[in-house]
Chain A
Amino acid sequence: LLHWRASRAELIAAAPLDFLSEQYRGSWIAHDNPLATFYLPQQKMIVEVRYRMRKPDKHLSDFAAPIWIRFGRIGDVVGFLGNIVIWPIWAIRGSLIDGELTELERVLATGTRASIVPAAILRPSSSDEHCDCERSKGALCLTLGTQSAALWTSLSELTHLFTSTLTPGDRQ
């Protein structure tokens, strides 16, 4: 996800990484949050990535999501524009789960105070050749592969998800 527009992004801040000698709940690194804060010069925007927050805000913790991303405009007084929330879910069998998009929409409707703009569930893809994708307004279920079309199509779906949260002026 950090890859998104990274070629044009500048790193403003990054939490130091501690490499663990044993994995802890599937992760080999420990760090404080936000993990990284980027500046997008073209859009004059800030992107903040928070990963596995230890003590998330009360409005956010109910969602139990590992990844929270938010955008902020430079020179704007409103602060951040809202959260993008992502659940990456590992499963041995790739592909989407029937009815997950509907369920996701129902979950999002219960917690409007978290100001979630869009939300996404990522699952492994069943093949490298294509990714599966179901989308509604503000919610996305997507499979992600490690290479070929399953990787690149998924990344452009994610790019679309992120940029759809910006106003036309921000996208340029």
Chain B
Amino acid sequence: MRRVSGLDINRWRDIAARDWEIEEPDVQLEAARIVDGGLGTVAVKESSGDWIGGPQALLALHGRGQGWGALGNSERRVSLAPMLDGLRSDNPLTVNEIYGATVNALARGADDVILSVPDVQDFDEATQFRMLSIFHRDRRQFRLLWKPVAAFLHALDCHAIPQNADGALFCFLIHSGTGIELQTLRLRRDSEHPDHVAPERDGYGFRILRNLGLKQLADRAHASVVRANPVLGEGFCERSTLGLRLICGNNGTGDVEILRLNNANWIEIIAPEIAEGDI
């Protein structure tokens, strides 16, 4: 059995899905196993020089500020958020290593890896090629899959699409860092194989509602956290991650976050209530 892992590394909330377990790689599971990659993807550099990605990196002390000693040096922690922008730029050197570390963390044990990618104009064929070329020497097989197509296939698989919908249009809205990605796909029945249906795609989708991107929402939530805890604005401690955690529902109002001050002591931060007007 080829062990396939499907990844959504969107740098905000990463997810991996597979139908096998690391412990029993040859048993196919009935329901997909979802691996939570955590919020706000980062990669960290260990003292061995290796980059680590995924949930272990998020939890690491590396790069979290001088309160954590030499390992707290901010050069040891890189956010993946500007990373995909790096893919589009001319500076893909460390980008490859960091993206690779994240893929390795989430696709451990896989033979085949499917990377889901945005179906919008600025993730064009040149960018797709650059993403695949990161792994050109990898023994695993890598494929790209457009996110709306992945969602469509899932909808077909779980019978969310009615039987007689041949020719109907389906609209997919995918929340991303810089807005909402909108794509419309048509359901087509294969004339030679009546049992087979597939999405028909007519060019790239669009990015709409740019002011509702996860980056903007997280930034505004973070500003609310700083307003409620003015000590954060003084730059004496590691960065709070409550903003993103609040808008993703991982934390609620009144929750406590422990942060390390630059002098190695600790303080307590309280999550404020975030009203609609705040974000």
Q: Which residues of A contact B (CB under 8 A)?
A: 10-18, 30-32, 34, 37, 39, 41, 44, 46, 54, 72-77, 79-80
Asked whether, in the complex, the Cβ of A37 is within 8 Å of the Cβ of B61, the reply is yes
Asked whether, in the complex, the Cβ of A75 is within 8 Å of the Cβ of B46, the reply is no
Q: Which residues of B contact A (CB under 8 A)?
A: 44, 46-48, 50, 52, 56-57, 59-62, 64, 68, 71, 256, 258, 263-268
- Chain A residues with Cβ below 8 Å from B60 are 13-16
Question: Please, which residue of chain A has its CB at the minimum distance from the CB of B54?
Answer: A16
Q: With the chains together, A30 CA to B59 CA distance in Å?
A: 16
- Chain B residues with Cβ below 8 Å from A39 are 258
- Chain B residues with Cβ below 8 Å from A34 are 61
From known contacts A30-B48, A32-B71, A41-B256, infer whether A77 and B265 are also in contact, taking CB-CB under 8 Å: yes
Asked whether, in the complex, the Cβ of B266 is within 8 Å of the Cβ of A75, the reply is yes
Given contacts A14-B59, A37-B61, A46-B258, 13 further A-B pairs with CB under 8 A are A13-B61, A13-B64, A13-B68, A15-B60, A16-B52, A17-B56, A31-B46, A39-B258, A46-B266, A72-B265, A72-B266, A75-B265, A76-B266
Q: Distance (Å) between the CB of A134 and the closest chain B CB?
A: 35
Question: Please, which residue of chain A has its CB at the minimum distance from the CB of B76?
Answer: A32
Q: Distance (Å) between the CB of B241 and the closest chain A CB?
A: 12
Asked whether, in the complex, the Cβ of B59 is within 8 Å of the Cβ of A13, the reply is yes
Q: With the chains together, A17 CA to B50 CA distance in Å?
A: 12
Asked whether, in the complex, the Cβ of A16 is within 8 Å of the Cβ of B71, the reply is no
- Chain A residues with Cβ below 8 Å from B44 are 16
From known contacts A16-B44, A30-B48, A32-B71, infer whether A75 and B267 are also in contact, taking CB-CB under 8 Å: yes
Q: Distance (Å) between the CB of A39 and the closest chain B CB?
A: 5
Chain B CB count within 10 A is highest, among A11, A30, A32, A73, for A32
Q: Which of B57, B62, B64, B267 lies in contact with A32, CB distance below 8 A?
A: B62
Asked whether, in the complex, the Cβ of B266 is within 8 Å of the Cβ of A16, the reply is no
Asked whether, in the complex, the Cβ of B48 is within 8 Å of the Cβ of A18, the reply is yes
- Chain A residues with Cβ below 8 Å from B59 are 11, 13-14, 16
Asked whether, in the complex, the Cβ of B56 is within 8 Å of the Cβ of A16, the reply is yes
Q: With the chains together, A30 CA to B50 CA distance in Å?
A: 12
